[in-house]
């Protein structure tokens, strides 16, 4: 456990807690955290996770914009639900992304867990886009992904990060409950 991992984990807890509270500061704090984790994952050869953190950096900026200027009136987004078409389409994109990234990582790198890491990466991206758009379903997907991440990180000896993702799971449950209580979510 490095000092970098300790700081990144602390920032991660703060960022997710602020997201649950729908506080705009979740995005800049999250940006710093994902940049730190990109280095951590590079160092232990979880390349899909490293790439995920780089993409998260861009999605942090996207989410920040969506929460402040997105939506029909350009005054920020409200919590909404995905249509069944949007849900299935997004999950299909996650599955295709998993297969494509898994193949690349398995055949062209020395990645430690190419297929699992790729699947977690692809579906994390789906969850992150949903979160940026304030889709209630982001929390259910985060719960599943975070639980699997816990096992992966334990297997790689990243015990603090595994604990962080266990805490993320609990925060995702809290997020689901909190966002469900927001004014009746519309389907979009």
> For 134-153, how does the pLDDT look when each residue is reduced to its tens digit (9 = 90+)?
999 999 999 999 999 999 99
For the chain, which residues make up each domain, given as ranges? 3-187
Q: What number is the average pLDDT over the span 68-83?
A: 81
- Stated length of the chain: 188
The percentage of the chain sitting over the pLDDT mark of 70, rounded to a whole number, equals: 94
Q: Residue 9: CB partners within 8 Å, gap ≥ 6?
A: 160, 161, 163, 164
- What pLDDT is attached to residue 187? 62
Q: How far is CA 59 from CA 63, 79, 142, in A?
A: 6, 18, 15
- What pLDDT is attached to residue 184? 60
DSSP bridge partners of 80: 135, 186
- Residue 72 CA to its chain's centroid (Å): 25
Nearest to 134 by CA among 164, 91, 176, 166: 176
pLDDT band at 47 (very low <50, low <70, confident <90, very high): confident
183 pLDDT higher than 90: no
């Amino acid at each position: 456990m490095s000092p970098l991992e300790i700081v990144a984990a602390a920032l991660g807890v703060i960022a997710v807690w602020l997201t649950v509270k729908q506080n705009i500061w979740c995005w800049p704090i999250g940006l710093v955290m994902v940049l730190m984790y990109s280095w951590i994952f590079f160092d232990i050869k979880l390349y899909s996770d490293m790439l995920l953190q780089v993409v998260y950096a861009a999605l942090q900026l996207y989410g920040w914009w969506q929460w402040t200027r997105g939506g029909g009136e350009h005054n920020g987004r409200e919590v909404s639900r995905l249509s069944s078409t949007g849900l299935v389409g997004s999950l299909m994109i996650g599955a295709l992304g998993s297969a494509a990234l898994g193949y690349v990582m398995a055949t062209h790198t020395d990645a430690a867990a190419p297929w699992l890491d790729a699947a977690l990466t692809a579906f994390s991206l789906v969850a992150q886009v949903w979160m940026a758009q304030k889709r209630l379903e982001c929390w259910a997907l985060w719960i599943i992904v975070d639980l699997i991440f816990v096992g992966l990180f334990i297997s790689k000896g990243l015990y603090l990060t595994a604990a962080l993702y266990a805490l993320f799971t609990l925060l995702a449950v809290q997020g689901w409950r909190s966002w469900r209580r927001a004014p009746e979510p519309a389907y979009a």
